[in-house]
Structure 1
Amino acid sequence: MTSRRESAVRQHSFSLYNLSANEIYFQDYAVICQSTLNEDHQTKVKGRVKICSKSLVFVPNDIRSPMIKILYKQISKFEDSGKNEFSLTDSTIVSSSSSSSNVNKKKSNSLIIICSSATLMAINGRIEPYTTTYDTHRFYFEFVYSNVEDCLSVVGQLYRSTTLPFPEQVMMIESIVQGRLKMLKFDFKQLKDLNEKVLFEQDAYVIKPLIKNPGKCLLTNQCCYFQALNNINEQQIVQYELGTLYKIAKRRYKFHYIGCELQFKLDDQRPSQKKILYLVFANQSICSTFYDLVLTQSCVHLDLTSSENMTLRWQQGTISNYDYLLYLNDRGERSFHDCSQYPVFPWVLRNYTSSNLDLNDPQSFRDLSRPIGALNIERLERLKERYTNMSLPLDHQRFLYGSFYSNPGFVVYFLCRLHPQFSLCLNGGRFDHSDRLFHSIVDTWKSVLTSDSDVKELLPEFYMTSKFSDDADDDEHRLDGEFLINQFDIDFGIRHDDVRIGDVLLPPWAENERDFVYKMRLALESEHVSQHLHEWIDLIFGYKQRGDEARCADNLFHYLTYGVPENHSLTEMEQYEEQLSLETQILEFGQVPKQLFLKPHPRKLTEQELKNDQEQKLNVDIDQPSTPTDNITNPMEEHLMRPRIQSLSSFEHHELGHFEFDSVCRLHKTAVKGIVPHPSLPSTHLLTIGDDGFLRNYMVNKSKIDTFYFISLRPLTCIKSIQVHFSIDGNEQCALAFVGCYDHTLYIHNLQTGTSILSQVLHDDIITDLCITNRSTPTLLCTSSHDATVRFWSLENLIFINEDSYVFQPNYHSTAILPMQYDISFDSSCTCMHALEEHCLLAVGCQDGTINLCNFQTGEILKQLTSPLSLPILSLSLRSDGLFLAYISSKAVTLVDIISSTDVFTNTCVSDEQSFKSLFYSSQMLILGLMNGSCDVWNLKICEKVHTLNINDKISITTIAYNDGMFFFGTDDGSVHSYVFASRQQLSI
């Protein structure tokens, strides 16, 4: 039967997939075979006999003759030409001398095998179920180049292992493998460069779906080499250049973190067996050593940015749902090379019967908030009843589902057409019963909804399509639905309804397999799925994956699929048999991914939210928190801080723009602690405060100080400025500066007259930050302090609001500000603060590394976040819509999704000199002032660092501010550096 495409599959070649799953192939010999399988017993067939851990396989040179597999356990007798017989007696191999009949005598250097069955494989090179003949067969192998004794020394041990109990059999085979690996010497002549420095040499296994191959792993400063124990590859030593390595990840294999998966780029960017190398070592220590050595090589340049801050990228629509799920699977330690941990994707559609697919209709989609096993209420009730009535040993836990959503059986089920060898390997040379094979999308969907044992989700292959540019052939998998086509014309049999199984039957709305996966992908990327995908992530990778949350969500699996119980370490097991039992369970029923999220996963931003984010201009407040940072938040902060609004356009394009140096001026004797615009003068005037106790009016266009005001002998910490009218009807106005100080005092200064209006002690320690409302009645002043409190003060005796403008009270000269009836107390000193009056939200950073989100009107603490390193929070800033919070400590910057409390962007400093000091945050831009005098500029749309500004050599950046098209960087030596910011979009007031 002719294949739909001519390929190497037509060639008669031996593969590890011709063996049982994870069976080991050791070596082979050139032989001439005669057997009673042939009608003419005298027919001689040339070929090679493969010595494997559970069987012997004869591979003839002539494709017209089948490969023959002989299981050791079916062999009753070995004889060599010297009449040495190896027979099975009481589970022991004995050697004796006997006078065999003339029929069994052959010329020297031959081996005679007598067995009760033999399996025929790949007759005429066809992919089809193997045929096993049960009869007494005799095989006569004449060794062409080698001595039969060499073969018998190995076969005798492997033959004996089959007579042992299963655990002892596995141990004996492992012992044989280790012994042969010790004798395997790496051929250093195969090195790419004789000057290469050898860094690492250890025994390892190469892992591929359902198979493993032992050998030697050698690491040099240029390449990674794998020398197989056998000759299964065309070249025994395979070379991987470290210069082409773009990704490396540790993997969990059979409960243990002993795996390491490396991905290499190829020049032609086409899939290849050399592209991915999955290695498994003897223990975790060896694996970690290899991993660390690879990372330290100078020629290794990993693509780190492609996998950093992926949650934020996904939320903003920078990456697709498909790519994000691949990323989560990778982080969850799922691999295309491990069928027990194959990547898992969701069913997103429920409509597989109509002729038209409407992706705007919510009824077309599956409920992603519920596990696949809980979509059918009737089935769920049956499973819950079984769960309630389970009687299990004390160390076992009850479960709803016996297997995970993805396991080797499910993977083989879906890929039986694309990779039929998987099915033959896993199922002992057979395909599953015709009625259980993957035949129809509709039937499979019905099964996962109704069958008590069928809870499988989908594979990435259901969404791989070349019509999406991000499918750049990163994996060794075909695209566009080829797994749905019986491309090798395999006879899968006939179903009970007399229908012959061929291509998978598709929904009526799909024209062909390409159209099917394309529309599946459109559904995956649809707005409906985008708004609910986080619910499915919670089930598979998140907080509903295990424990009480899983139980409440009807998402509970067999306890072994979660890994080894905490009180049951495999490394300390006394019985090897128990370990094998646990591993067999996992390999058969799958493993739950690594839990990635302990809190609800943030949702993806809607198309409207993304559109608004691109269209609206971000209101940027140049005012600084008490910390060495600037609040560039959004329209809301402008309401909180001052009536005059500065705006920074959102960055619709990935290219933010560029910075051009303008000027620098030394304004203070010591560190600059705050920069705000002058509320009454043109934008060329700024107000600055410093540790020297002075408030200065800085003329940017002339790079000089216009006026200055002495405030205190102690360092000043924070400043806000407002414009106030003297009366409702009059045009006369002045500017007020509110200044916090080390002496616990708030100073209110009239910038027009240069006089002090008020100085009042507000706290028991340093005032660290302040803000002023312009919507509430009365107008409120909010202050934070090292005394671990945030206090609220009424300004009604000083000013009031009239049509969004501040107006003086008639007797404002002789007044004091009054405390409100509530304040907020914390467990640690308050270091910084930011408020969104519109959302009644107040964020307070503390010395102990906590961030407290509070209700602005009531003082109630709504939520507490903790910095990963528990270091003091130096600065923070809320986004205007209240969705995100950015904060820094000296060692890390973090962007948090407030609703889910999930860190969606993180970056850590690489050295003490590059520790963080100040922060500027808008929805698309993050600027980090560093200890060494430079600033890192991040484009949050693509989560990449796009600029590094060298502001001041080795002088810390204490504060960052923006005003009217310019950025201002205050430094530790009292200077202010001005930079013009040029972007594709205008920065306007």
Structure 2
Amino acid sequence: MENPVDVKELIPEFFYFPEFLENQNGFDLGCLQLSNEKVGDVVLPRWANSREDFIHQHQKALESEYVSAHLHEWIDLIFGYKQRGPAAVEALNVFYYCTYEGAVDLDAITDETQRKALEGIISNFGQTPCQLLKEPHPARLSAESAARRLAQLDTRSPNIFENLGQLKSFFVEGISDGVALVQAVVPKNQAHSFITQGSPDILVTVSANGLLGTHNWLPYDKNISNYFSFTKDPTVTNAKTQRFLQGPFAPGADLSSRTLAVSPDGKLLFSGGHWDNSLRVTSLAKGKVVGHITRHIDVVTCLSLDLCGIYLISGSRDTTCMVWQVLQQGGFSSGLAPKPVQVLYGHDAEVTCVAISTELDMAVSGSKDGTIITHTVRRGLFIRSLRPPGENCPPAVLSHLAVGPEGQVVAQTAVGQPSCSKERFALHLYSVNGKLLSSVPLDREVTAMCLTKDFVVLGMSECGLEIRELQSLRAAVPPVPMRVPVRSVSVTKEKSHILVGLEDGKLIVVGAGQPAEVRPGQFHRRLWRSTRRISQVSAGETEYNPCEGRG
């Protein structure tokens, strides 16, 4: 490592693949010469607690401010003006001449022996990339400078996960008073034309009685204490214009966040739990069923849609899962294909929760007997079966499941009889390759779950919202109290707020940050650099105080 002419580079596995540090197959790698100790797994440095932590620290280093500040220097050496010529000599960045592009024309060499010798030299020394730049590459903005620029924009709310020490809760009056709010989500890929840029997004709500709401949501303005503006859908409170998800629902299959999925463009609602074992597609604008597919032979118990809105997975009491393709028309979701792309088998009991990641080709399902099974999405191949740790009297039920951005699987288990286990509820974290990374006991049941890049957001049955670190499942902040049980949680697409649906029908909006100027009631925002201003009234400015008593 101290030889200046010996060039070394960390292979990509150092940043994503902890398994390469372990001699899983027990190969005989010999012994150390001094101690005669058998060589096996890679010995980690003292600053790493585990192989996973070692890789995670490398990921953090690669994304660190130091690397960002010096990234242009690396570009200059590899692709830029310091690759060749006097600048390369001055930077001690000169390599064997055969490694440079165009230095040797192998096709022009007629001597076979000489040609093979040059090919061997090139293979041994490697090849320098093409020179793309002849001028110095500019440096990136520092994080501080970028933050100052963003702070000047009226269209950016603080990232809630960067301001966890400043959480505040606000409530919107009951969407359906006394009826649980089982879904509240801002779809992530809503289309806005150039003319309507800056117009409100749609916030979709579904109540336990099937009442549908499409509200206006503006997630920004630094001059409002809650940083958001919410305008309630007027059809929700008008008996003549109310839109309902068509039932009836099967016994024991009450409407919940697990049986609902909203398309990323906010056009369609996919639902299960229906009495006829169907999977239904409802137009949110009209409240009418536009698709009705019956392929499962028992009730659909859970649904999950991938981030891109390409595939949807359904689980059923018939122990199977099905992967469906979401049809597109004119750039918008228009329904489901009449036949599933894959039918996934392997469970021996009712499927209770599902999750899907098209990018990672993962379809994950959990069942009532505590088994987690992973298949591929595109070919439907079985990958692995997992069973979370714990006593098996009776087996723990998988009640919630989610897949992280790097393929992590987070699962919550519940034991039906408290007498069998002191720790009735637990949360488990698995790596993309099925290794158990962490298990933590919970003193209450998880009723809703969603994941971000670095955090797990949990809604609890005993009136609380928890935010935990994804890498370790440790609590990132103390629980945010709620008066009544939580029925749904979601994170807005800007990561500016957490939307919490409660048992009493209230929508709680959790945000963060301290605005420099507070002008409650309304805000003004300059539009298109003109003197014309628009005004919006915020419907959720009241801070939520769970200590006022329940009701």
TM-score w.r.t. the length of structure 1 is 0.32
Aligned partner of 1:975 in structure 2 is: 506
The 1:692–1:967 alpha-carbon spacing in structure 2 relative to 1, beyond 3 Å, is: same
Aligned partner of 1:904 in structure 2 is: 437
Task: Please state if 1:919 is matched with 2:449.
Answer: yes
Within 5 A, what are the aligned runs for 1:123-272?
Answer: none
The 1:801–1:837 alpha-carbon spacing in structure 2 relative to 1, beyond 3 Å, is: farther
Aligned partner of 1:873 in structure 2 is: 398
Q: Supply the distance in 2 between the matched residues of 1:376 and 1:758 (Cα, whole angstroms).
A: 59
Q: Supply the distance in 2 between the matched residues of 1:355 and 1:722 (Cα, whole angstroms).
A: 56
From the two aligned structures, give the one with the greater helix fraction: 1
Task: Tell me how far 1:961 sits from its aligned partner.
Answer: 0.8
The 1:793–1:896 alpha-carbon spacing in structure 2 relative to 1, beyond 3 Å, is: closer
Task: Please state if 1:670 is matched with 2:179.
Answer: yes
Answer whether contact 1:770 1:783 (CA < 8 A) is retained. yes
Q: Supply the distance in 1 between the matched residues of 2:59 and 2:289 (Cα, whole angstroms).
A: 48
Aligned partner of 2:202 in structure 1 is: 685
Q: Supply the distance in 1 between the matched residues of 2:340 and 2:3 (Cα, whole angstroms).
A: 68
Aligned partner of 1:455 in structure 2 is: 37
Aligned partner of 2:410 in structure 1 is: 886
Aligned partner of 1:757 in structure 2 is: 290
Q: What is the one-letter code of the residue matched to 1:686?
A: L
Could you tell me which of 229, 242, 248 is aligned with 1:713? Answer: 248
Aligned partner of 1:860 in structure 2 is: 381
Query: 1:947 is paired with a residue of what secondary structure?
Result: coil
Could you tell me which of 317, 323, 335 is aligned with 1:786? Answer: 317
Could you tell me which of 801, 806, 825 is aligned with 2:332? Answer: 806
Query: 1:838 is paired with a residue of what secondary structure?
Result: coil
Task: Tell me how far 1:887 sits from its aligned partner.
Answer: 1.6
Task: Please state if 1:696 is matched with 2:278.
Answer: no
The 1:671–1:831 alpha-carbon spacing in structure 2 relative to 1, beyond 3 Å, is: farther
Task: Tell me how far 1:875 sits from its aligned partner.
Answer: 1.4
The 1:854–1:355 alpha-carbon spacing in structure 2 relative to 1, beyond 3 Å, is: closer
Q: What is the one-letter code of the residue matched to 2:290?
A: I
Answer whether contact 2:185 2:499 (CA < 8 A) is retained. no
Q: What is the one-letter code of the residue matched to 2:465?
A: C
Task: Please state if 1:928 is matched with 2:458.
Answer: yes
Task: Tell me how far 1:856 sits from its aligned partner.
Answer: 0.7
The 1:359–1:738 alpha-carbon spacing in structure 2 relative to 1, beyond 3 Å, is: same
Deviation digits for residues 402-442 of structure 1 (CA, Å, limit 9, x no counterpart): xxxxxxxxxxxxxxxxxxxxxxxxxxxxxxxxxxxxxxxxx
Task: Tell me how far 1:825 sits from its aligned partner.
Answer: 4.8
Larger relative contact order (CA 8 Å, sep ≥ 6):
2
Aligned partner of 1:957 in structure 2 is: 486
* Matched pairs, number: 364
Query: 1:605 is paired with a residue of what secondary structure?
Result: helix
Q: Supply the distance in 2 between the matched residues of 1:374 and 1:525 (Cα, whole angstroms).
A: 25
Answer whether contact 1:766 1:785 (CA < 8 A) is retained. yes
Deviation digits for residues 113-158 of structure 1 (CA, Å, limit 9, x no counterpart): xxxxxxxxxxxxxxxxxxxxxxxxxxxxxxxxxxxxxxxxxxxxxx
Answer whether contact 1:785 1:829 (CA < 8 A) is retained. yes
Aligned partner of 1:947 in structure 2 is: 477
Q: Supply the distance in 1 between the matched residues of 2:476 and 2:485 (Cα, whole angstroms).
A: 21
Q: Supply the distance in 1 between the matched residues of 2:207 and 2:355 (Cα, whole angstroms).
A: 20
Q: What is the one-letter code of the residue matched to 2:272?
A: G
Deviation digits for residues 508-532 of structure 1 (CA, Å, limit 9, x no counterpart): xxxxxxxxxxxxx9x9369xxx79x
Deviation digits for residues 724-765 of structure 1 (CA, Å, limit 9, x no counterpart): 7xxxxxxxxx82222223422323222333433223334333
Task: Tell me how far 1:854 sits from its aligned partner.
Answer: 0.9
Q: Supply the distance in 2 between the matched residues of 1:613 and 1:881 (Cα, whole angstroms).
A: 18
Task: Tell me how far 1:843 sits from its aligned partner.
Answer: 1.1
The 1:881–1:361 alpha-carbon spacing in structure 2 relative to 1, beyond 3 Å, is: closer
Q: Supply the distance in 2 between the matched residues of 1:722 and 1:770 (Cα, whole angstroms).
A: 12
Task: Tell me how far 1:780 sits from its aligned partner.
Answer: 4.4
Q: Supply the distance in 1 between the matched residues of 2:64 and 2:207 (Cα, whole angstroms).
A: 35
Q: What is the one-letter code of the residue matched to 2:405?
A: S
Task: Please state if 1:844 is matched with 2:365.
Answer: yes
The 1:665–1:788 alpha-carbon spacing in structure 2 relative to 1, beyond 3 Å, is: farther
Q: Supply the distance in 1 between the matched residues of 2:23 and 2:284 (Cα, whole angstroms).
A: 61
TM-score w.r.t. the length of structure 2 is 0.55
Aligned partner of 1:634 in structure 2 is: none
Q: Supply the distance in 2 between the matched residues of 1:781 and 1:941 (Cα, whole angstroms).
A: 26
Q: Supply the distance in 1 between the matched residues of 2:6 and 2:325 (Cα, whole angstroms).
A: 56
Within 5 A, what are the aligned runs for 1:507-518?
Answer: none
Q: Supply the distance in 2 between the matched residues of 1:689 and 1:945 (Cα, whole angstroms).
A: 29
Answer whether contact 1:822 1:858 (CA < 8 A) is retained. no
Task: Tell me how far 1:845 sits from its aligned partner.
Answer: 1.7
Give the structure with higher Rg (CA). 1
Aligned partner of 2:55 in structure 1 is: 604
Task: Please state if 1:722 is matched with 2:263.
Answer: yes
Q: Supply the distance in 2 between the matched residues of 1:974 and 1:721 (Cα, whole angstroms).
A: 19
Aligned partner of 2:267 in structure 1 is: 735
Answer whether contact 2:463 2:486 (CA < 8 A) is retained. yes
Task: Please state if 1:768 is matched with 2:282.
Answer: no
Q: Supply the distance in 2 between the matched residues of 1:931 and 1:968 (Cα, whole angstroms).
A: 16
Aligned partner of 1:747 in structure 2 is: 280
Task: Tell me how far 1:375 sits from its aligned partner.
Answer: 7.5
Answer whether contact 1:676 1:720 (CA < 8 A) is retained. no
Task: Tell me how far 1:672 sits from its aligned partner.
Answer: 2.7
CA root-mean-square deviation: 4.4
Q: Supply the distance in 2 between the matched residues of 1:861 and 1:647 (Cα, whole angstroms).
A: 42
Q: Supply the distance in 1 between the matched residues of 2:157 and 2:431 (Cα, whole angstroms).
A: 23
Select between 752-761 and 852-861 the one with higher mean Cα deviation.
752-761
Q: Supply the distance in 2 between the matched residues of 1:360 and 1:749 (Cα, whole angstroms).
A: 57
Identical-pair percentage: 16
The 1:657–1:447 alpha-carbon spacing in structure 2 relative to 1, beyond 3 Å, is: same
Within 5 A, what are the aligned runs for 1:401-800?
Answer: 446-448=33-35, 454-455=36-37, 524=45, 534=51, 604-605=55-56, 607-608=58-59, 611-612=62-63, 656-668=164-176, 669-677=178-186, 679=190, 685-699=202-216, 701-702=229-230, 704-707=232-235, 708-710=242-244, 711-714=246-249, 715-717=254-256, 718-722=259-263, 735-743=267-275, 744-772=277-305, 780-794=311-325, 799-800=327-328
Q: Which runs of 5+ in 1 are unaligned?
A: 1-350, 381-444, 449-453, 458-520, 535-600, 617-645, 725-733, 985-989
